Amino acid sequence: MLLKINNLKSTINPMRYALTVFAILFSVAIQAQEIIEDEKPVAVKKIDTTLSSGAQKIDGVAAVVGEYVILDSDVDQNIMQLKAQGASLVGVTRCQLFGKLMEDKLYAHHAVQDSIVVSDAEIRSNVDYQLQQFMAQSGQSMEELLKLYDHPNEKAFRDEMYEINKSQKLASEMQKKILKGIEITPEETRQFFNQIPKDERPTFGTELKVSQIVIEPIIAEEENQRIIDQLKQFKADVIENGANFRSKVVLYSDDKASVSEGGMYTLNRKKPRMVKEFREVAFSLQEGEISDPVKTEYGYHIIYLEKIRGQEFDVRHILLIPKVSDAAVAEAREKLEKIRTRIVNGDISFADAARESSDEKETRSEGGFLINPETQDYNFELTKIDPEVYGQIQKLEDGEVSLVQTDQSRTGSVKFKILMVSDRVEEHVADYSRDYLKIKELALNEKRIKAIDKWQNEKILDTYIKINNEYRDCEFSSNWLKN
């Protein structure tokens, strides 16, 4: 049964999924190398199954899976990288991390055998994006990253990240192929639920629906025009006077996250990034062309297309955010206070007020209801809701309208909102009728786990696998030792 399985596969288990995400985004230590004819014997000693960083080990081949080699240092450096990124490794052993590396290589090996092709351009785009995000979040320069991860130059750093991403992508595509077409019927769902002993049935947390009405201060047309004129002047200065676009980014752009990169982003036609209005203009430009001012939800931009590489577009932009007057802020708050009063007095329903007045287009047509991105419905589990929203609604009773809340974005823009919760269902033991969709998902996950188990057990037996003695003492969840 799903509820009794202790060692879920990497496509299902949240812990393993989290480790995979960290490995893809930040780890630069796991190397995929082609197998040599006869690897040399390596020094062997009893494995330290804890995650202590104090143990000193002689580097060598820890395992071979198909055409891939896993080194002792791969495990050590993976631990170091995960810790550096703040990952919680409580309860995670060295053997578990080593087993995860072997799983990834098994998937990647058979992806190659099955002629699964991954896009080099997509992988390199991922590397570009990861480096940009890492530098933006850590505040470190490329030179600092090279020093931190002990790489001689940027090319070596990118090449290693490329190999990591390629291996992970091959593994991901292989997993998708294994799970393709697996579905669950209502009868299978019923049988799954009935086989769970009553005292072992899962408990589902408190669920509710959340609605909100958002009012944004109105920016004066004069201020909008001032911003547009300033951006037009920047464009003219670059084109007519030879001014440096990157310098203007550093001096003027309000997108502080990209300033250190000179406003650079790499866009891919097949992988949406940035808001729609920005992408449409960027993809319409020719190399070396600068756009007219473009309005998005963040403010106004001018976009410079620096380079086209197949489906990838290297662009730089300058963002300017119009300033909102104190009077406009006060007016927006007062407007929402009046809307709240009408709702509380029963003059209008929350849903009708949202459709009539809310400035948030994503929820306005839904009567203010927030949509759960995971389930695509209106229901949220209270403990899994966005922490900021949780803080605003945790004390609300069903049908109660919150006081006016102030939201401030990372760019400093202010908006006001009121929230309401409804259809609250308190924490309860799973009920087949009420919780059918959740139970169906649990049943489907169990079916997927069994498919992964079956595939993995068969492929382990069919694949050349060599594990050195020091790791043979691990208690693996899969039959890596072929006992």
CATH number at residue 227: 3.10.50.40
CATH value at residue 112: 1.10.4030.10
- Total-model pTM: 0.58
Structure tokens at 290: 């600068």
Say if residue 237 is in the same domain as residue 134. no
Among 298, 320, 342, give the residue marking a domain's end: 320
Asked whether the predicted pLDDT for residue 3 surpasses 60, the reply is no
- Whether residue 201 lies inside any domain: the answer is no
List, edge to edge, every strand of the sheet that includes 299-309: 264-268, 312-320, 299-309, 294-296
Query: Are 212 and 330 in a shared domain?
Result: yes
- Res 150: pLDDT: 76
Residues 84 and 175 in one domain: yes
CB 471 within 8 A of CB 47: yes
What sign for the dihedral angle of Cα 60, 63, 69, 75?
negative
Alpha-carbon distance of 105 to 62, in angstroms, equals 13
DSSP secondary structure letter of residue 271? B
Whole-number Å distance between alpha carbons of 274 and 271: 10
Establish if 112 belongs to a structural domain: yes
Contact (CB, 8 A) for 68 and 109: yes
Q: Same domain, yes or no, for 277 and 375?
A: no
Query: How many folded domains does the chain comprise?
Result: 3
For residues 174 and 225, state if they share a domain. Answer: no
What is the tens place of the pLDDT at every residue in 222-264? 999 999 999 999 999 999 999 999 999 999 999 988 898 899 9
Residue 184 CB contacts under 8 Å (≥ 6 apart), including other chains: 440, 443, 444, 447
Tokens of 180: 């393709």
Q: Is residue 10 assigned to a domain?
A: no
Residue 152 is assigned to a structural domain of this protein: yes
pLDDT band at 363 (very low <50, low <70, confident <90, very high): very high
Quick one: average pLDDT of 373-394?
85
Same domain membership, residue 463 and residue 399? no
Residue 359 lies in a domain: yes
Q: Are residues 163 and 70 in the same domain?
A: yes
Distance CA 371, CA 356 (A): 19
Could you tell me if residue 1 is inside a domain?
no
Question: 385 and 340, same structural domain?
Answer: yes
pLDDT in tens, 61-102: 889 999 899 888 788 767 766 665 567 788 888 888 899 889
176 and 66 inside one domain: yes
* Boundary of a domain, candidates 266, 285, 320: 320
Residues in the chain: 483
Q: Which of 278, 300, 320 finishes a domain?
A: 320
Domain co-membership, 276 together with 149: no
Are 211 and 270 contained in the same domain?
no
Pick from 481, 482, 480, 483: which is nearest to 105 by CA?
Answer: 480
Q: Judge whether 369 lies within some domain.
A: yes
Higher-confidence residue of 288 and 81: namely 288
| Alpha carbon distance 261, 39 (integer Å) | 43
Please check whether residue 159 lies inside any domain of the structure: yes
Whether residues 374 and 232 fall in one domain: no
Range of the domain at 277: 221-320
For residue 77, what pLDDT is reported? 67
Which region among 106-120, 248-262, 331-345, 382-396 has the lowest average model confidence (pLDDT)? Answer: 382-396
- How many Å apart are CA 303 and CA 291, to the nearest integer? 5
Higher pLDDT, 2 or 229: 229
